[in-house]
Structure 1
Amino acid sequence: MLVWWLWEQLDAWSALIFIVVLLLVSDYLKNRDGKNFPPSPIWVPFVGDLFSMTSDQPHQYMAKLKEKYGDIYSLRLGGSKTVIVNGYKLAREALLTQGYALTGRPQPAIYERIYKKPGIGLSNGYTWKEHKRFVLTTLRNFGVGKKSLESIIMEEVKFFVEAFEEERGQPFNPHYMINNAVSNIICLIVLGHRFEYSDSHYQEIQHLMNKGAYLEGSWWTWRKNDPAAEFNDDTLCSNTFDLFVAGGETTATTLRWALLFMAQNPHIQEKVQAEIDSVLGQTRLPSMEDKINLPYTEAVVHEVQRKADIVPVNLLKMTTEDMTIGGYLIPKDTAILINLSSVLNDKDEWETPDTFNPGHFLTPDGKFRRREAFMPFSAGKRPCLGEPLARIELFLFFTCLLKKFTFRAPEGTSLTLDAITGFTRAPLPHKICAIPRGQTA
């Protein structure tokens, strides 16, 4: 009654001021930090830090905040708080030590505009577990993890190499050629059919998938809660899209970075080619069994993944119960973002994080070594399901390309490592020369 009486006493301007103040106070009370919650920068009412996170390189903005607030802090993105976890130490604590409490996934609003139901990448609870089991079983039935998959990949590699040869060493943009080749692997596994690189309809699908992957990375898409998901045709369509992104688009983007790094580091490229020649000779194509005898090549592939940093901010996760990270209390149903870029560039884990250095993955006597801070596929209970397939594709495609071609910048030009960031961090459009080995440029 008192509020209503006050309302009747106000003129129009006073009423407007009253409403604004009421909304501001309500917004503050709703979004103020709880006890022992990670610190946050001062945020703008109603939108929080959303405008700051919509930059082309959000991981760089988060790196600046890390310098001020440490390895764990919070941001308000729209109407909710998100905890940002940086560095290998805390990422390991969140993903591995307490991964059981970090299996939830908030769902972006844009996904309802793409599909009616979320796929395996964004589903939760029982639905996620059932679809994960279904997808893994189906992929195994189709050959993923079996020797037969290698022959499928190598068959596509032959078409891929021929397409590069047709460019005759002249400058060309390899973007969609790489996308088409890698996506054909998923098509062969799921559909039993591949598409010609010249197929305009297939090229349009690739273009739309690239656009979708970019839009999914936009921070404006995260503004909704999780709807219930079901096991039906709509969800299966979403699962299929997730597979093409996880096993196709990300691998293709990594290969594009690989060619750029080789063109910019000719001494490394030459060393890879020398190792390949010594193991495979002049005619034999590689197989996964050769990997153990190609430690430098494998180290270069891993360093490409580390330095390319193609999924710098990962997908958001959500706590399914209260948990503690870095001494801070994170309540149930809180969104958490693991800044993978900060892990792959952690100065406490990598000797020269800002340099393309295959030595990060080599022992002093030249053998390949694994690194715990190598997390391009994330880790824990919800890593990338496309990881096993991506590892095989990257090794075979990269080894075959370096066996057949030397990659260089077009004459009179230079290649940039600048990127465009959506869900993935991809190279800017560019042209490159694939010089057949033995041919004079």
Structure 2
Amino acid sequence: MLEATGVLLALLFGLLMLEFLKLRRAAAHLPPGPTPLPIIGNLWALKFQLHPEILMQLSRTYGNIMTVWAGQTPMVVLSGYNAVRDAFISHSKEFADRLITPSFQLFVGENGIAISNGHMWKEQRCFGLKILRKLGQEKEGLDWRIQVEAQSLVGMISANQGRPLDPRGYLTLTVNNVISAVILGHRFPLEDELFQQLMESTDYLISLFGTNWRKAYDAFPWLMKHLPGPHQKVTAHITFLRHVMMQEILNHQKNLTGKPYDFIDFYLKQIHKTKDDPSSSFRESNLAQVLAEFFLAGSETTITTLLWALLYLVANPDVQETVHRELDKTFKSSQVILFEDRKRLPYTNAVIHEIQRCANIGPFGLPRQCVQDTQVQGIKLKKGTIVFANLASVLNDPNHWDTPTRFNPRHFLDKDGKFQSNAAFLPFSAGHRACFGEQLASTKLFHFLTSLLRAFTFRLPQGVTEINFEAIIGTTVQPHPYQICAFPR
């Protein structure tokens, strides 16, 4: 018995050594990084999650272009503005492919915009951006539709009469209705059962995507398909989400008018226009996927940013007061503020940008793959190499921000108090795979924050003296739940 045990242990040790040597040989052809261990790679050093702070610490040892191993899979991490700029901006085409993992296929498939590659991605993204630009130019376009929901939010918060409230629920309702108004052409009554189910499915999918269940599914998809757990509900929620989108498409097809009003109208018109083109990717199934992606990618990101925004405003009452003065000085209480008016509100615009920089809700974005052999800052990367940027290291790069670890709207103001951009401001990533919804997200943040700050002064509840800025790392980087008081101005 003891002899058999010794043989098994020797065999196991030999297999581990072979795997270790195999990893060492593979690592020799990649940028430097911590030594990977058999099976787990660098997961122990990473504390089993991709944490921006840990990766920034590792980059100080191994450089701004380094390799970390998620189990058996090597990933090249870009840190700092110069490395990210050289890869995603200067060599944008070479990093235009998405990595399609088993969980991505489960959550979104290969249609749509977020995960697709090649001709389909180019065609869908280009046309989608075109539609959003057109909607932004319409008289009753993005500004008007977002303003409706922003005022709905103000009304709900006003009804609370200054009592402590958790803002997440209010924000979830109104932000999701913005998405609905823009892409579906209508808003839902807040108590609508279908709307509640839609938000429930969206929240479930978004939350699960940032957990270890999703990571385990990517590592062992063949096993996870047969194991119990929350991931088993994913298909049901995705099926429901796509069903709702297909019903909206069918309703639009029955009621098509001459002038497109929303995203679906524009897309259906394009389907008809390209119906005889065999290379066209415009079809109802693709449209349903794009609509679902709007809800999955466009709601939680805005909600999370606004939650951080209220915390930063409460923690910096002088900043909040300065925004109040600028809004009052520039606009009468009855005037409607449009997105283009941000040029007349340099301080407010700077505050919104600084909130996005400090909140840093998506520190990595989705991973990319090299389309071909290429080089980044002289380091060779082969075709198929998985690459992602540590955007936190860009948004906190001391070479581009005077006080990178402190909330400071002056980062976006010149000496005369005028708004100035910063090349290292990349919360939406950069290049060909930059966030598709950047324009919509920026417009939502501007309208929601200006509407809230015109209406309220935000303070901590009585007796609360400390603010918890510790982040929860999930699909997005979220603050811990909190309560806040909104006093009418």
Report the TM-score when normalising by structure 2: 0.80
| Counterpart for residue 92 of structure 1 | 85
Match among 79, 85, 106 for residue 113 of structure 1: 106
C-alpha distance 243-224 of structure 1, shift in aligned 2 (>3 A) = farther
1:319-330 matches, within 5 Å, as: 319-330=370-381
SS in 1 for 2:97: coil
2:300 partner letter: E
Q: Structure 2 vs 1, CA of residues 234 and 117 (structure 1 numbering), >3 Å: closer, same or farther?
A: farther
Q: 1:104 aligns with which of 82, 97, 110?
A: 97
| Partner SS state of residue 283, structure 1 | coil
Q: Which residue type is aligned with residue 482 of structure 2? A: H
Cα displacement string for residues 374-433 of structure 1 (whole angstroms, at most 9, x for unaligned residues):
000111111001001111111111111000001111111132112212221111111111
Q: How do 1:7-22 residues align onto structure 2 when only pairs under 5 Å count?
A: 13-14=6-7, 17-18=10-11, 20-22=13-15
Among candidates 150, 159, 165, match of residue 158 of structure 2: 165
Distance 1:15 1:211, change over 3 A: same
Residue 419 of structure 1 corresponds to 471
1:32–1:208 CA distance, 2 compared to 1 (3 A): farther
Q: Provide TM-score, normalisation by structure 1.
A: 0.89
C-alpha distance after superposition, 1:265-308 (max 9, x if no partner): 00000000000000112332312232111100000000000000
Task: Give how far 1:76 is off.
Answer: 0.8
Cα deviation for residue 342 of structure 1 reads 0.3
Contact 1:48/1:78 (8 A) holds in 2:
yes
Give the equivalent residue in structure 1 for 2:356: 305
Letter in 2 for 1:255: L
Q: What secondary structure is seen at the aligned counterpart in 1 of 2:364? A: coil
Q: Is the 8 A contact 2:206 2:296 kept in 1?
A: yes
- d(CA) in 2 for partners of 1:149 and 1:379? 23
Q: Offset of 1:175 from its aligned partner? A: 0.6
Whole-angstrom distance in 2 between the partners of 1:187 and 1:24: 55
1:93-122 Cα shifts (integer Å, max 9, x gaps): 011111110011112322333344453111
2:153 maps to amino acid:
F
User: Which segments of structure 1 move beyond 6 Å, counting only runs of 4 or more?
Assistant: none
Q: Distance in 2 between matches of 1:96 and 1:15?
A: 52
- The match for 2:74 is 81
Q: Which residue of 2 aligns with 1:429?
A: 481
Give, in angstroms, the shift of residue 245 of structure 1.
3.5
Query: 1:377 corresponds to which residue?
Result: 428
| SS across alignment from 1:32 | helix
Distance 1:108 1:26 in 2: 23
The residue that corresponds to 2:246 in the other structure is none
1:340 to 375, 385, 391: 391
CA distance in 2, matches of 1:266, 1:290: 24
Distance between the aligned counterparts of 2:320 and 2:333, measured in 1?
17
**CA–CA separation in structure 1 for the residues paired with 2:31 and 2:383:** 14
Between 210-219 and 302-311, the greater mean CA deviation after superposition: 210-219
Letter in 1 for 2:379: Y
Q: CA–CA distance in 1 between the matches of 2:377 and 2:26?
A: 16
The CA deviation at 1:196 is 3.0
CA contact (8 A) 1:187 1:193 kept: yes
Report the AA paired with residue 400 of structure 1. S
- 2:26 maps to 1:28: no
Q: Deviations over 1:339-374 (max 9, x none)?
A: 000000011110001110000000000000010000
Offset, 1:173: 0.6
1:152 maps to amino acid: R
Against the structure 1 CA distance between its residues 62 and 123, is the aligned structure 2 distance closer, same or farther, given a 3 Å change threshold?
same
Contact 1:82 1:337 in 2 (8 A): yes
1:288 aligned to 339, 345, 348, which one?
339
The question of whether the paired residues in 1 share the 8 Å contact of 2:23 and 2:38 is answered with no
Tell me how far apart the structure 1 counterparts of residues 303 and 39 of structure 2 sit (CA, whole Å).
38
Distance 1:347 1:375 in 2: 15
Q: 1:189 to 1:267 in 2, by over 3 A?
A: same
- State the one-letter code of the partner of 1:62: L
| Structure 1 residues 54-100: Cα deviation after superposition (integer angstroms, max 9, x where no partner) | 65771111122122212121011122210000000111001111111
Q: Structure 1, residues 110-165: CA drift from partner, whole Å, max 9, x if none? A: 23333444531111122211222343344456x14544221111122221110111
Further displaced range: 365-374 or 204-213: 204-213
The yes-or-no answer on 1:122 pairing with 2:174 is no
| Distance change >3 Å, CA 244–CA 419, structure 1 → 2 | same
Q: C-alpha separation between the residues in 1 aligned to 2:343 and 2:455?
A: 21
Residue 453 of structure 2 aligns with which residue?
402
User: Is it true that 1:267 corresponds to 2:297 in the alignment?
Assistant: no
The change in CA–CA distance for 1:31 and 1:343 in structure 2 (over 3 A counts) is same
2:231 corresponds in structure 1 to none
Q: Is 1:315 paired with 2:366?
A: yes
Contact 2:458 2:487 in 1 (8 A): yes
Q: Are the aligned partners of 2:364 and 2:391 in contact in 1 as well (CA < 8 Å)?
A: yes
State yes or no: 1:46 paired with 2:98. no
Q: Distance in 1 between matches of 2:218 and 2:395?
A: 25
44-53 or 187-196: bigger deviation? 44-53
Q: Residues of 1 paired with 2:49 and 2:36: CA distance?
A: 20
Gaps of 5+ in 1: 1-9
Question: In 2, distance between residues paired with 1:140 and 1:271?
Answer: 32
Tell me whether 1:187 sits opposite 2:180 in the alignment.
Answer: yes
Q: Whole-Å Cα distance in 1 between the matches of residues 53 and 113 of structure 2? A: 29
Distance 1:430 1:196, change over 3 A: farther
Question: Corresponding residue for 1:362?
Answer: 413
Q: Secondary structure at the match of 1:45?
A: coil
Is the counterpart of residue 276 in structure 1 residue 269 in structure 2? no
Q: Deviation per CA, 1:284-333, whole angstroms, max 9, x where unpaired?
A: 23122321111000000000000000101221111011111232211110
Say what the alpha-carbon RMSD is for the aligned residues: 2.4
CA distance in 2, matches of 1:218, 1:134: 33
2:119 partner SS? helix
Cα pair 1:38 1:83 within 8 Å, conserved? yes
Q: Which stretch has the larger CA shift, 203-212 or 292-301?
A: 203-212
Post-superposition Cα deviations, 1:17-52, rounded to whole Å, max 9, x if no partner, equal: 335513541453256345562111122211212344
